[in-house]
Amino acid sequence: MKITHLSVVTLDYTVSDDAGEVLDTTEGREPLVYLQGSGFLVPGLESALYDREEGDSFELTVPAMDAYGEYEESLVQDVPGELFDGMEVAEGDTFVADTDDGHRPVTIVEVSEDFVKVDANHPLAGMDLHFKVTVQGVRAATAEEIAHGHVHGDDEGCGHHHHHAHGEGCCGGHGHDDDDHECCGGKGHAHDDDDAHECCGGHGGCKH
Ligand code: ZN
């Protein structure tokens, strides 16, 4: 069957930057399973998947504006150090901040005595992304999946182990050497347990 709105799609993919460096890939792990039309994937990739079917392979360049957005200087701000009261902060640390746009990963770019400079751009903002994609499977979503806006596993229902918890989109390959999930959890972050991974999966997340 072809991919339509609300298809559950199983994908293998590799995404690279302009220099050919691999940012994220399903190679060597489980493929990604997501709900088409849920906004789980970056917009440029999701829209390119309509009408594809099982077995299709293709390459696609998604410009930054259809991926994680252009890099915006206005998202780099100095905030008072008191806001980090009691926390050890260092350049390169990432944490999740509550903003008007919801939870966003924020990177600390400079720490001085009086302020902390933070960058709320997505780590992949401003980057054109080069995808190699193979559609491994297509099925219709269940009513429950449609109601939740995400895919459920074969037998687990809506627990904390959705497939999309493994979609480490924002984490893959940009310098987190100690913990792949650091960009999502970490300092000052209120999520509990596995929910902390959900910001990695792209634009959707668990909408309960
Ligand atoms: Zn659910």
pLDDT in tens, 55-102: 999 999 999 999 999 999 999 999 888 887 778 889 999 888 877 777
Instruction: Report yes or no: 55 and 71 within 8 Å, Cβ to Cβ.
Output: no
pLDDT of residue 139: 97
pLDDT in tens, 173-200: 223 333 333 333 333 333 333 333 333 3
Q: Which of 63, 67, 18 is nearest to 41 (CA)?
A: 67
Strands annotated E in the chain: 7-16, 22-25, 32-35, 57-62, 76-80, 94-99, 102-111, 115-119, 129-140
How far does the centroid of ligand 1 lie from the alpha carbon of residue 153, in Å?
9
Q: 10 Å Cβ neighbour count for 163?
A: 20
CA-CA distance, 137 to 8, in Å (whole number)? 8
Instruction: Report yes or no: 128 and 63 within 8 Å, Cβ to Cβ.
Output: yes
Residue with tokens 């929910």: 195
How far does the centroid of ligand 1 lie from the alpha carbon of residue 103, in Å?
19
pLDDT in tens, 99-148: 777 787 899 999 988 899 999 998 899 999 999 999 999 999 999 999 99
How far does the centroid of ligand 1 lie from the alpha carbon of residue 206, in Å?
7
How far does the centroid of ligand 1 lie from the alpha carbon of residue 152, in Å?
6
How far does the centroid of ligand 1 lie from the alpha carbon of residue 149, in Å?
7
How far does the centroid of ligand 1 lie from the alpha carbon of residue 57, in Å?
29
How far does the centroid of ligand 1 lie from the alpha carbon of residue 155, in Å?
12
**Which residues neighbour 163 within 8 Å (Cβ) at sequence distance 6 or greater?**
30, 32, 33, 34, 151, 153
Strands annotated E in 36-157: 57-62, 76-80, 94-99, 102-111, 115-119, 129-140
How far does the centroid of ligand 1 lie from the alpha carbon of residue 158, in Å?
4
CA-CA distance, 127 to 18, in Å (whole number)? 8
How far does the centroid of ligand 1 lie from the alpha carbon of residue 38, in Å?
13
How far does the centroid of ligand 1 lie from the alpha carbon of residue 162, in Å?
8
- Find residue 183's DSSP bridge partners: none
How far does the centroid of ligand 1 lie from the alpha carbon of residue 71, in Å?
32
**pLDDT tops 70 at residue 164:** no
Q: Which of 172, 145, 125 is nearest to 13 (CA)?
A: 172
